[in-house]
Structure 1
Amino acid sequence: MAFRRRPKRRRLLLSAAVAGVLGVAMFLAGGLGLPPWPAAPTGTGAAAPVEAGSPLAGGDPLAADITRLQAKLKATPRDEVALATLGLDYVQRAKSTADPAYYPKAEAVLKRSLALGTGDNFTAMGGMAALEAGRHHFTQALDWSRKAVAVNPYNSSLYGTLADAYTQLGRYSEAADAVQRMVDLRPGSPSLSRASYVAELSGDIATARTDMRRALNDAAGPADAAFAHYYLGELAFNNGDPATELREAEAGLAADGGYTPLLQAKARAEAALGHTDAALADLTRAVQRLPQPEYVLQLGEFHQSLGRDREAAQQYQVFRAEQKLFTVNGVAPDSDAALFEADHGDAERALAIARQGLETRPFMDSHDALAWALHVNGQDREALTESDRALAQGTRNALFRYHRAVIEQTLGDQNAARGDFTEALAINPHFSPLLAPKARSALAALSGRR
């Protein structure tokens, strides 16, 4: 779907701090549990620019803003705008530091702000939407986004949070409409990067790349540029081009050397290109800077692929501890947790997490995670149906195809399995340091039977 630029219309703007937080909601909300939309990421995946100077981008003006707002609220504790902005800062702090303990703090001040308001406090409503998205409560995030948009229908950032909620709830056409409205109101990096993601989800990689290039051209500063380079690299790697991802990561780091996701991207590209020592060094640095579960799991699996089982086990232990911390702070388990248990832990727990995840987040990643969890529990007929749902939008995802191929092979459909193993490796022969070699071995064995 191509998104059109239209003349800007009258709009009411959030404060800079609020806009910055809402801008990162799409990818960082998923970042706790998938690659940037990925996730996130997974991901899962995912986009919108990270606020310049945030902990993800180097420096820490966010901490300074939190301190300033806390001091202001000591003097004027009933300032609803200051409370709402502080709540948004706490949401961003949770995401940019991978510390979910900030979510309860955010909820407390946002609710205080709403209690003081007159029903038109769209800043706090948008903050609640970002908070609920961060905790993977996407139905609630949608409700708050709709309330905020009803109060202020001219704010582009609010349409971003609305689009994010629709996306994670599997309501893709409504998400595309919200993104188009965001582009109409304010064509720029936040809206164009979301447009790129909409195209990517439907398998239109050329349009996704074009829109992300437009986002790069519209970058307002180094952090925006670093962000755009990161997702251009994501598009390249996910479609089998690690050399381009490495170039994009290096270009992004030249723009903003403190943008930690670029270290993770650089490491992944280096690993695919056979630069093992450099990959380990960069990925370890990324985890030390920002211990996102996604990065921790990636490091563990990379260690395991190199036969470093003790080091892998250490990272898996950290991943489990992080999942407990997120749960304690109100974050719903997500597809990464389900896949982790399916691949490295408890199959029954994987299935329970995956079923719960699909209820709260019926996104394509959740369907794939449930498919894989069903497979490891021996329920392959139902698994194939979930795999169909994961791929229904036409997305190009090597992991989804690999999971489907294994399920088909288990069901005895060797021709279908051969086709999906082939497709997985055609999309991205480096999609997983553990699973890509298994895909190649399985495909060779199947081809030998022809």
Structure 2
Amino acid sequence: MDRAMDNRVRVPGASLLAEPPAPRRARRWLRRVLVAALAGGVVAGLGLMLSEERPHQAVRPPSAGAQAQARTQAQTLTAVTSGVPVALPRLTAFVAQQERRVRAQPRDARAWAVRGRAYVERGRRAADPEDFPRAEQALRTSLGAQAANSEALEGMAALALARRDFPAAKEYGEQALKAAPNRWTAYPQLIDAYTGLGDYQAARTALDNLLGLHTDAAARPVVMARASAVYEDRGWREDAVAQLTDAAAAAGTPAEQAACMTGLGQLAWDRGDPQDALRHYEAAVRLDPDQPAAQAGRGRALAALGRTEAAFAAYRTALARHPSPRDAYELGELYEARGMAAPAREQYERVKALVRREVAAGVDEDLLIGQFEADHGNPREAATRLRAEWRRQPGTEVADALGWALHRAGDDKEALTYAKAATDTSKGGVRSALYAFHRALIEQDLDLPAVSRRHLQEALRINPYFSPLRAPAAVAALRALGDVPDEPPPGGTP
């Protein structure tokens, strides 16, 4: 077992959740769409009544302010139904407007679909999973009023992605595409769903099909952002940066531009450039203070640059605005890396509470639970949970997490199989400093010092700051192996 990693702060009580992993209940609603015959019952069950008619009044021409408000509402409607980022205050106002609309028109399938999609976007932007059950109810009502309507199906796909349910996202995305083959808006969701399932060929095909459509100017930043993500998975980092830079230049709103800047910050971070990452994250925060990942990204970059107190403050700001369990986990590990055990435990307890809230709203957090348990709880439970997750949605991130959990549980031979799946770029793996580090320590325990040394060196070349806990462990492990030149074997990397 890797001794360098065995002194981590652990949280009393073995499991991140109170109960051990249980078989996932079949979500039958993911396997069918409600038929139109149910529409009357669904609407009646919600207890919504048409408003009474009012006496006829003379129609007055709208004022300039009313016209501007109508334009804003129309732009927000287009953005929400297309998956374009919207500023959180504007999105909240739009949700209220849609709630009024369905009260006035309870049998309007499109109104329910738009309301559901708005809930998805607000829940995702604000890290508030309580919006997801509301979104599901609204989208089901829309499908009950009009079966197989593409906007509701796309909304269901977006909801499934927000809940990390990639099989459902794939199913609904494909149904939406079938219902409206010429709409481009289902393709970005399908690309994300295929990527989450580890089907990178399908993701590339979906991108090719999307690029072949004639999308308008407003859609191009979204299309370029998805292209950037696919290129990053392929290892084409310069192309990924170029696409996202062009998307930022073409963005129509500050919120949309901020999302692109956040993505550019993540690309800079992944290649080991915290200064450039910080520049992009700070630009994103200036454009949109509610950009979910930008403040946490600032914390990550500031910590790498040695500005620890500023990093703590950035993470605290991120968590105050968007209480994300993953950000709380990162902050906990930063505290731990700085020798602050008590604040670290406090953050790990916060992770537990936030995960429970997410799971109660239907979010699949088995990946995060497995990652947490492997390092700070019960590695055997982590491996059991992650095996089930791998069977359901075998993406690269799950492969890495399962391999690491098996290693932490003492099964290095099987662990290496999954570590190779996560890092073999010729078969869908990605260039990740964390994944290379995990593989290196597994190989070290299997008495494979040459390949272990090479993967430790690779991890530190990709990003020498990749984790406040694990990057120093990588340096220590490499030093223990000795200073040997990095020469690949004649047969290449195994």
Same fold, TM-score > 0.5, yes or no: yes
**Alignment match, 1:20:** 79
**Alignment match, 1:334:** 366
1:446 and 2:487 are equivalent in the alignment: no
Cα distance in 2 for partners of 1:334, 1:19 equals 33
Cα distance in 2 for partners of 1:232, 1:61 equals 24
**Alignment match, 1:78:** 107
**Alignment match, 1:116:** 145
User: How is 1:24-43 mapped onto 2 (pairs within 5 angstroms)?
Assistant: 24=83
Question: Which AA in structure 1 matches 2:155?
Answer: G
Cα distance in 2 for partners of 1:323, 1:198 equals 28
Kept in 2, the 8 Å contact 1:253–1:259? The answer is yes
1:149 and 2:184 are equivalent in the alignment: no
User: How is 1:232-251 mapped onto 2 (pairs within 5 angstroms)?
Assistant: 232-251=264-283
* Residue 23 (structure 1) shift: 5.1
Aligned to 1:188, the other structure's residue is in SS state helix
1:254 and 2:280 are equivalent in the alignment: no
Aligned to 2:327, the other structure's residue is in SS state helix
**Alignment match, 2:326:** 294
Structure 2 counterpart of 1:94, from 98, 101, 123:
123
Q: Deviations over 1:329-380 (max 9, x none)?
A: 2222232221111111111221122112212321100100100111111111
Kept in 2, the 8 Å contact 1:136–1:361? The answer is no
Question: Which AA in structure 2 matches 1:97?
Answer: A
**Alignment match, 2:257:** 225
Cα distance in 2 for partners of 1:145, 1:179 equals 14
Aligned to 1:298, the other structure's residue is in SS state helix
Structure 2 counterpart of 1:345, from 371, 377, 380:
377
**Alignment match, 2:168:** 140
Kept in 1, the 8 Å contact 2:128–2:322? The answer is no
Call closer, same or farther: CA 1:449–1:68 in 2, change over 3 Å: closer
Aligned to 1:109, the other structure's residue is in SS state helix
1:419 and 2:454 are equivalent in the alignment: yes
Aligned to 1:274, the other structure's residue is in SS state coil
Cα distance in 2 for partners of 1:142, 1:394 equals 21
Kept in 2, the 8 Å contact 1:137–1:360? The answer is no
Cα distance in 2 for partners of 1:124, 1:18 equals 14
Cα distance in 2 for partners of 1:89, 1:210 equals 30
Higher alpha-carbon deviation: 350-359 or 421-430: 350-359
**Alignment match, 1:38:** none
Kept in 1, the 8 Å contact 2:139–2:155? The answer is yes
User: How is 1:427-446 mapped onto 2 (pairs within 5 angstroms)?
Assistant: 427-446=462-481
* Residue 144 (structure 1) shift: 0.8
Q: Deviations over 1:169-208 (max 9, x none)?
A: 1111111121222233326111111111111112111111
Structure 1 counterpart of 2:299, from 261, 267, 272:
267
**Alignment match, 2:132:** 103
**Alignment match, 2:393:** 361
Higher alpha-carbon deviation: 374-383 or 67-76: 67-76
Call closer, same or farther: CA 1:19–1:374 in 2, change over 3 Å: farther
Question: Which AA in structure 2 matches 1:354?
Answer: L
Kept in 2, the 8 Å contact 1:86–1:109? The answer is yes
Structure 1 counterpart of 2:309, from 274, 277, 296:
277
Q: Deviations over 1:247-269 (max 9, x none)?
A: 11222233334424222122211
Q: Tell me, which stretches of 5 or more residues in structure 1 are unaligned? A: 1-14, 25-48, 55-59
Kept in 2, the 8 Å contact 1:333–1:353? The answer is no
Higher alpha-carbon deviation: 331-340 or 180-189: 180-189
* Residue 21 (structure 1) shift: 4.2
Structure 2 counterpart of 1:202, from 212, 223, 234:
234
Cα distance in 2 for partners of 1:67, 1:250 equals 30
Cα distance in 2 for partners of 1:435, 1:167 equals 26
Cα distance in 2 for partners of 1:314, 1:18 equals 41
Cα distance in 2 for partners of 1:83, 1:180 equals 31
Kept in 1, the 8 Å contact 2:380–2:406? The answer is no
Call closer, same or farther: CA 1:258–1:70 in 2, change over 3 Å: closer
Q: Tell me, which stretches of 5 or more residues in structure 2 are unaligned? A: 1-73, 486-494
Question: Which AA in structure 2 matches 1:336?
Answer: L
Kept in 2, the 8 Å contact 1:300–1:311? The answer is yes
Structure 2 counterpart of 1:371, from 389, 400, 403:
403
Call closer, same or farther: CA 1:175–1:249 in 2, change over 3 Å: same
Kept in 2, the 8 Å contact 1:192–1:212? The answer is yes
Call closer, same or farther: CA 1:254–1:135 in 2, change over 3 Å: closer
Kept in 1, the 8 Å contact 2:258–2:284? The answer is yes
Call closer, same or farther: CA 1:257–1:333 in 2, change over 3 Å: closer
Question: Which AA in structure 1 matches 2:437?
Answer: Y
Cα distance in 2 for partners of 1:260, 1:363 equals 23
* Residue 443 (structure 1) shift: 0.3
Q: Among all aligned residue pairs of Structure 1 and Structure 2, give the percentage whose two residues are the same amino acid.
A: 36
> Runs of at least 4 residues of structure 1 off by over 6 A?
none
Cα distance in 1 for partners of 2:165, 2:261 equals 29
Structure 2 counterpart of 1:390, from 419, 422, 426:
422
Cα distance in 1 for partners of 2:429, 2:409 equals 27
Higher alpha-carbon deviation: 185-194 or 78-87: 185-194
Structure 1 counterpart of 2:223, from 191, 195, 213:
191
Call closer, same or farther: CA 1:135–1:253 in 2, change over 3 Å: closer
Kept in 2, the 8 Å contact 1:23–1:50? The answer is no
Cα distance in 2 for partners of 1:337, 1:246 equals 28
Kept in 1, the 8 Å contact 2:396–2:430? The answer is no
Question: Which AA in structure 2 matches 1:196?
Answer: S
1:406 and 2:441 are equivalent in the alignment: yes
Cα distance in 1 for partners of 2:103, 2:81 equals 25
Kept in 2, the 8 Å contact 1:270–1:279? The answer is yes
Higher alpha-carbon deviation: 172-181 or 412-421: 172-181
Call closer, same or farther: CA 1:369–1:74 in 2, change over 3 Å: same
